[in-house]
A and B are shown apart, each in its own frame.
Chain A
Amino acid sequence: MMDALRGRSELGVAALLGVVGVLVAVDASGLDAGTAQVGPVGPKVVPLLVAGMLLVCAVLLAVDVLRGGQGELEAGEDVDLDQSSDWRTVLLLVAAFVANIALIDRVGWVISGTVLFWGSVYALGSRHYVRDAVVAVVLSVATFYGFYVGLGIALPAGILQGVL
């Protein structure tokens, strides 16, 4: 049963390929070949080729998956493929990431980076709350100053403007 489900989930990939292919084709067809065209191969050609390739791949992949073919999961040193995916960890990591996106321009990198790091470490299983918080703050502050002094990039200070 799991295999049949997994087979079906890879159809999602085929669907994605199909959707992207359609998007590219639609966008390309809306291009006006008009006045600025230089040469016989205009801005539409390659997008349409790419869209065609994507759609062909989408169909062939769907066929392959339905016939039982399967993409190989990528193995690695730290990867244990015998267990099923740990979605909870991944979703928590994504949540920490999104928190950073939402906060970085509002409250500044120091705070949002701390949230990102601490959230990620928590998601990955560490339960040393205080130690992790200290490390997170140190990293955020250090990179804040480091980027400014070393690279001339001023990360947003947010609500800590004036303090930093």
Chain B
Amino acid sequence: MNALNSLMDGFATAATPMNLLYATIGVVLGTAVGVLPGIGPAMTVALLLPVTYSMEPTSAFIMFAGIYYGGMYGGSTTSILLNTPGESSSVVTAIEGNLMARAGRASQALATAAIGSFVAGTIGTALVVMFMPLVARFAVSMGAPDYFAVMLLALLTVTAVLGASRLRGFASLGLGLAIGLVGIDSVTGQRRLTFGQAPLADGLDIVVVAVAIFAVGEALWVAAHLRRKAARTIPVGQPWMGRQDWGRSWKPWLRGTAYGFPFGALPAGGAEIPTFLSYVTEKRLTRHPEEFGKGAIEGVAGPEAANNASAAGTLVPMLALGLPTTATAAVMLAAFTQFGIQPGPLLFDKEPKLVWALIASLFIGNALLLVLNLPLAPAWAKLLQIPRPYLYAGILFFASLGAYAVNLQAFDLVLLLVLGALGFMMRRYGLPVLPLVLGVILGPRAELQLRRVFQLSGGDVSGLWSEPLAVVIYVVIAVVLLWPVVRWLRGLRRQAEAPDVVGAPHPEDTSEVGHLTGTGGRDEQ
């Protein structure tokens, strides 16, 4: 099969000593930042963008992929071992995992989390392999109207579906598009929004924007609200599992994967719902219900698998459509842009070697993570003793260093500060970050495609829907945009029919984990 051959080639590329080294660096870094509270894979990849500028793109992405998966492993280590888990990223794992640790079963909890992550990650990546050829077949036949439609879909989905407030999503998108406009218009060569400043003529470097928004903005925001805490890690020996634990874990692993992957692949998904669904399912199906609430291994195995499978699933829209559904995916898109690679359907066609090497390195990275994390988990926990001032000062330090190194211009640091302040403001006032980043990345490209459409159609607006794929996508967009309007109207009707009922479900309710209503379209939160 052709895909299998390409995958084998990918393995050959990914398994060179140099790339293996990068993969190792990536998983080590990823685990480290996953363990540390406050820093995440998105911020780390953003900080590394300036450094990787002179690297081979393949090697850089292998490293980023390692960071991506590693972040999740690290997160589960912290949530299991920290005796006051709080708002860690693996909140559901923490429920049973932490209880297991307190009951002296930390080794088993860590083991089931790590192995479950490996299983889910491998299966999830294999599913990605299956999907890629389908995408390739579409991609070749796409024309300008299709590209424009796909980009529009990406922009609107991220804006209108993710995030609590659509209005603020659109505001964020608008700002991103405006930032993307700065510079020289690629078609006519005219300067836009440069205000006579020469350095602005090249546009605002996506690297500076990404570092500013993801690293500087985040660091400033946390600095303004630093949560002071003094917890303890639960001591643990080598992670391992007994036979009974294996027997109880393997089905939750598979079920978790089945939950996680589709949700990750769908733009409206994410990791919260599948991990919660997995937890609830395991609780209902377990043969040891009395253990739930005291440390049940199924409650760790399932959600962890769901988490990792969701991460793998996120790669499908990102690689296939250029549609990122998480911050990390968005930063990786920025990385593609930095290397001059166009994300989206053409990615697979133009850079197949890169994509296959990336996928192969995901398999390798998963294996590396299992090998690294199983024995070293207690050591990772020691990282939690690093004082936060050093961490956040380090973030600002490396952010400045990176931004300066891009062009060796102090002006970029001014930009970094201004955009970092913007990132701070956005976090303060609830403007989601993803639409802005996507606006900067996709805005200029979408504009190019739009103008090409009109060029080809000679000014006729119907050129936009002249291709069948474009029509399909526009229908999808319409559904996505109108769905909440439909819900709102239905809510109004329900209110009119049953005036004593308190009224349509409020957006705040859906954010409480216990109130999920199981409707397919989740547009709040």
Contacts and interface: CB of A to CB of B under 8 A. Distances in A.
Interface of A: 10, 13, 16-17, 20-21, 23-24, 27-28, 31-32, 36-43, 46-47, 50-51, 53-54, 57-58, 60-61, 64, 69-81, 83, 85-87, 89-90, 93-94, 96-98, 100-101, 104-105, 109, 113, 116-117, 120-121, 123-126, 135, 139, 143, 147, 151-153, 155-156
Given A24-B193, A28-B192, A90-B223, A71 B429 contact: yes
Given A71-B165, A86-B223, A100 B178 contact: no
A61 B171 contact: yes
A125 B414 CA distance: 25
Interface string B201-234: 0000000000000000011111111111000000
Contacts of B192: 27-28, 31, 43, 47
Contacts, number: 219
B181 A46 contact: yes
B181 A100 contact: no
A153 B405 contact: yes
Contacts of B193: 23-24, 27, 47
B181 to A, nearest CB: 6
A155 B173 CA distance: 35
Contacts of B221: 74, 76, 79
Interface string B254-275: 0000000000000000000000
A23, A71, A116, A135 — which one has the most chain B CB atoms within 10 A of its CB?
A71
B175 A38 contact: no
Contact of B220 (A93, A113, A139, A143): A93
B413 A104 contact: yes
A37 B451 CA distance: 11
B171 A54 contact: yes
Contacts of B397: 113, 116-117, 120, 139
Given A17-B171, A124-B226, 13 more contacts: A16-B425, A46-B443, A61-B171, A71-B428, A76-B218, A79-B225, A85-B428, A86-B226, A89-B223, A109-B401, A124-B223, A139-B394, A147-B405
Contact of A17 (B174, B410, B430): B174
Query: Interface SS of chain A: helix, strand, loop or mixed?
Result: helix
Nearest to A70: B430
B178 A85 contact: no
Nearest to B414: A101
21 contacts: A20-B178, A24-B181, A36-B190, A38-B451, A53-B170, A57-B170, A57-B174, A61-B171, A73-B427, A74-B427, A74-B430, A75-B87, A76-B221, A77-B88, A80-B226, A86-B226, A87-B224, A104-B413, A117-B393, A117-B396, A143-B401
A69 B171 CA distance: 15
B242 interface: no
B353 interface: no
Given A50-B181, A57-B174, A104 B410 contact: yes
Nearest to A77: B37
Interface residues of B, number: 74
B133 to A, nearest CB: 34
Nearest to A47: B181
- Top 5 closest pairs, chain A to chain B, by CB: A71-B430, A120-B393, A80-B227, A78-B38, A39-B455
Given A78-B388, A124-B392, A10 B429 contact: yes
Contacts of B164: 72
A36 B458 CA distance: 16
B283 interface: no
A64 B190 CA distance: 37
Nearest to B395: A120
B25 interface: no
Interface in B37-58: 37-38, 51, 54
Interface in B407-455: 408, 410, 413-414, 417, 421, 424-425, 427-431, 443, 447, 450-452, 454-455
